[in-house]
Amino acid sequence: MAFESFHNLKDFLDSKVEQYNQPGFIANDPISIPHEYSKLQDIEITGFWASILAWGQRVTIINKCKELFAIMDNSPYDFVLNHSENDLRALLHFKHRTFNDVDTLYFVEFFKQYYSQHNSLEDAFLKGMAASDNDIENGLIGFHEDFFSLPDAPYRTRKHIATPARKSACKRINMFLRWMVRADDKGVDFGLWKRVKASQLVCPCDLHVERVARRFQLITRKQTDWQMAIELTNHLKEFDPEDPVKYDFALFGLGIEEKY
């Protein structure tokens, strides 16, 4: 499909945002996992974990997340704060792709330490940020440093938490941030965090989003890295400077549902 003008492309993408940013999107997407919870901390923990485990087929991701949180009696916030050593043994059998028991136990330990001092995970993304920052880059770098600040942090677990400091596009964490920050009346994203601004979010760039964005010439950079994600987001800001990442719905929907 060719677009004669900026406005034609914007109108097309706006229509696709409207089509896919609907409650019907939830059931087949990993965002369905945090939607099963109502407590802020449960939504944060399950949302973060679901986003980090989000590679492979969506149905498998959802099933693995359900398996993990069933081990925690579907009360992850209570589990991370109050578990016994014996409770942790059940987690030794959990695995998804290259995410194994070492990673799982460290996630539990981080959340235990973190939530004993903070009410919301949003604080962890604000440490490195200034309110005037154009995007979330410094917040992601600061979060990565904070996440691995515990003395027993396993080196192998670092591969699961991306950071712009390693030039990663940070797809999974950017997706989690979209879930937590974006606020509208559609019922998909949660909009629970108020101090990180939607205008600071960076578009999650999975294979589907990247392919469609390149087709629309919203990406010219050849490498799949942080600068590519910034390039895409800056182009999306031309369509909506206050909420550029809403177009993730359009690009992802076109890519996975319509095989665009």
- Which residues of the chain are modeled with pLDDT < 50? none
DSSP-derived 3-state class of residue 260:
coil
- Kindly report the length of the chain: 260
pLDDT in tens, 195-216: 999 999 999 999 999 999 999 9
Cα 193 to its chain centre, rounded Å, is: 13
DSSP-derived 3-state class of residue 193:
coil
Determine the pLDDT at residue 222: 95
Tokens (6 digits) for 77? 């916030």
Determine the pLDDT at residue 205: 95
Determine the pLDDT at residue 3: 59
Q: What whole-number distance in Å separates Cα of residue 129 and Cα of residue 253? A: 31
Determine the pLDDT at residue 45: 98
Helix axes 6-20, 247-256, angle to 10 degrees: 80
Phi and psi torsions of 96, nearest 5°: -140, 115
Strand partners, 96: 99
pLDDT in tens, 17-61: 999 999 999 999 999 999 999 999 999 999 999 999 998 889 999
Q: What whole-number distance in Å separates Cα of residue 67 and Cα of residue 192? A: 25
The domain locations on the chain are 6-256
Determine the pLDDT at residue 257: 80
Q: What whole-number distance in Å separates Cα of residue 244 and Cα of residue 101? A: 36
Determine the pLDDT at residue 95: 94
Tokens (6 digits) for 134? 């154009």
Q: What whole-number distance in Å separates Cα of residue 19 and Cα of residue 253? A: 9
Determine the pLDDT at residue 4: 58
Strand partners, 99: 96
159-193 as b/e: b if 16+ CB within 10 A? ebbbbbeeebbbbbbbbbbbbbbbeeebebbbebb
Whether the CB-CB separation of 219 and 228 falls below 8 Å is answered with yes
